[in-house]
Amino acid sequence: MYDLNEVRTFVSVMETGSLKESAQKLGVSKSTLSRRISHLEQALNQPLLRRQANRLFANEAGIKFLPFAKKMLNVADEGHKAVEELKDEISGSLVVYVHTTLLRGWFSWLMFDFLDEFPQVNIEVRTGNQLSQEIKSNDICVWVGEPINDQLRSEQIGTLSQGLYASAEYLERIGMLKHPSELNQYAWVDTLKNEQNNIVLEHETQGDVSFDLPKSRLTVDQYILHAEAIIRGKGVGLLPHYFAEKHLKRHPEVFVSCLPEWKGKSLPVYLQYPFGHLPKKMHTLIQYLREEAKTFY
């Protein structure tokens, strides 16, 4: 078996006729070149070169071996080029972590469209609302809320505004809300295990209002369950407008907006991906996500 560095050294010396010149060309020392030539001659079990007037020339064995050596290098270079070109192909597997809030109505459709456009790509989707699983350095994450993985590059790609929602039946029974100060009189459906005891609602002209959260008999960690609790008349809850609008398109009038002029704290949407040079498949999906996330602004 021949070492390609030794074969490359032999071909270079045949082209230059000089160890010194070949050493400069290949960026190694003369002693390294001499050692490579010796190893190659040992592998072939006969000498390949002869010295004459401070120049190196191929002997009969070297002359016969030279075209084969060049062919080996050409094949190796073609193989290397073929592998390098894979970096420019949009193919292979990707692992994407997606927050449950973004799954239905956004990422699910985006995912199918992306797979249709790039049939050589495979996507493994992992969903959740907490990054309890370890995200590897070659994964992509689309997250709602502040990112918690500092091993990945974080880029905010959108913002989800929030508002108050309740079922029409519940409001007919309890009475319509007229101001955030009345919320203490209503049952509250908490979401995503809110660790704060109060929330802030914002108004364009009346400023901000902070109020203590009523005790919630039901606390859920997924917006689909949160919406279901609101639909069933369990109380008032805070939902991202984007999620609510998508839900209402599928199931009209299951709940209504309360105090639409008041908004809850906006939720940032982050894209996380590895640092450094990225494969084209990953770069393409990231750009795809950036474009599709414009709907959140």
pLDDT in tens, 151-187: 788 999 999 999 999 999 999 998 898 888 888 888 8
> Where exactly does CATH 3.40.190.290 map onto the chain?
160-266
Select from 3.40.190.10, 3.40.50.150, 1.10.3720.10, 3.40.50.300 the CATH code of 92-156+276-296: 3.40.190.10
pLDDT of residue 268: 92
- Give me the residue label for tokens 């997924």: 222
Tell me the CATH number for domain 4-86: 1.10.10.10
pTM above 0.85, yes or no: no
- How many whole angstroms separate alpha carbon 77 and alpha carbon 83? 10
> Where exactly does CATH 3.40.190.10 map onto the chain?
92-156+276-296
- How many whole angstroms separate alpha carbon 154 and alpha carbon 146? 9
Share of the chain residues as helix, strand and coil, in percent rounded to the nearest 5: 45, 25, 30
Cα 161 to chain center, whole Å? Answer: 24
Mean pLDDT of 98-111: 85
- How many whole angstroms separate alpha carbon 270 and alpha carbon 207? 27
pLDDT in tens, 11-59: 988 888 888 888 888 888 888 888 888 898 888 888 888 887 778 888 8
Select from 3.40.50.300, 3.40.50.11540, 3.20.20.60, 3.40.190.290 the CATH code of 160-266: 3.40.190.290
At position 280, the amino acid (one-letter code) is: K
> Where exactly does CATH 1.10.10.10 map onto the chain?
4-86
Work out the burial of residue 29: count CB atoms within 10 Å of its CB; fewer than 13 is exposed, 13-18 middle, 19 or more buried.
exposed
In sequence order, the β-bridge partners of residue 238 are 164
pLDDT of residue 271: 92
pLDDT of residue 167: 92
Q: Rounded to whole angstroms, what are the CA distances from 26 to 8, 207, 246, 267? A: 9, 70, 62, 56
The full length of the chain comes to: 297
Q: What are phi and psi of 162, to 5 degrees?
A: -130, 155
Could you give the percent of the chain with pLDDT greater than 90? 15
pLDDT in tens, 122-134: 899 888 776 545 5
- Using alpha carbons, select from 216, 189, 211 the residue that is nearest to residue 200: 211
263 DSSP 8-state letter: B
Strand, coil or helix: 58: strand
Strand, coil or helix: 286: helix
Neighbours of 176 (CB within 10 A): 12
More reliable by pLDDT, 87 or 245: 245
- How many whole angstroms separate alpha carbon 41 and alpha carbon 47? 5
Nearest 10 degrees: Cα torsion 217, 170, 221, 190: -60
